[in-house]
Amino acid sequence: MALTCAAPAAAQPVPITIGETHTLASKPLAQERVVNVYLPADYATSGKTYPVLYLIDGGLDQDFLHIVGTSALGALWARSQDVIVVGIATKDRRRELTGPTQDAALLKEFPTAGGSAAFRAFIRDEVMPMVAKSYRTSGETGVIGESLAGLFIVETYLNEPDLFDHYAAISPSLWWDDERLAKSALTLLKTPMLKPHRLYLSIANEGREMQTGLDRLVSALAANPREGRAWCYAPHHDLTHATIYHTTSPEVFQFLFPGSDAPAPDSGFSVPCSKGH
């Protein structure tokens, strides 16, 4: 009698879901824009409210996945709080993340530049209300971005500081428009603040073109101590523009959204601020 064995049925694949995607028809941008949202693992069952970190350049093909991974790992190690991550995709970064300029050479190289105010209006008037309506948020917010997104974040911090509670700018492109923003920082830091803020700044080995603008900003911050303003300058000159974001993002979560208990000294979780308070 011949015996036959049936081959096991192939297991059906199950999709891996890490978040939700919204498509907003933006009036300030006059186009549709994608917003990706990551919810902490216990969001569905906890009933808790969560802080929100807004990520500039938050498309799936941009920085959403690696920042979400950093967030989840930080919470797993109790290095930082669980947060909702809202990734705001950019399309034309040179338009959306830069302020106006009268520099003819820049306008020739970047003809669409100067639309940061409209992008900020999109976040303030459309993205943030959608998030507050759709998710259980605690009301505490932060924003993170690198390079041109870092420039946009510094511009927001200086011009509209109460839009977010906390800010992180990684290797910000403060060279833009002959460092106009950094040169204005001493005056702009006097903008009234209605609530406390944390600001994290870092830079890789970027050369003088990138470094001098950040040096100006750090000097202005040091010259303007202010109640309610906590800031950290943590340069990483051993890193490059390509490697700094992955390395510093855990520090960002720890500084902006610290856990309820400080990490053990031997854990290696430190935020080395060379300047700040």
Span 219-277, pLDDT tens digits:
999 998 888 889 999 999 999 999 999 999 999 999 999 987 777 777 778 888 866 55
Half-sphere exposure of 161 (CA within 13 A, CB side): 17
Rounded-to-integer distance, Cα 83 and Cα 64, Å: 14
> What does the pLDDT look like over 184-204, one tens digit per residue?
999 999 888 889 999 999 999
Domains of the chain: 20-276 (3.40.50.1820)
Kindly report the backbone phi and psi dihedral angles of residue 103, in degrees, each rounded to the nearest multiple of 5, phi listed first. -75, 115
Could you tell me whether strands 197-202 and 166-170 are parallel, antiparallel, or unpaired per DSSP bridges? parallel
DSSP state of 11: P
**Any idea what the Cα angle at residue 135 is, between residues 156 and 33, rounded to 5°?**
55
Rounded-to-integer distance, Cα 40 and Cα 19, Å: 9
pTM metric for this prediction: 0.93
- Nearest to 67, CA basis, from 45, 89, 49: 89
Rounded-to-integer distance, Cα 134 and Cα 116, Å: 26
Question: Is residue 1 over pLDDT 50?
Answer: no
- Which residue did the predictor score with more confidence, 276 or 55? 55
Question: Is residue 43 over pLDDT 90?
Answer: yes
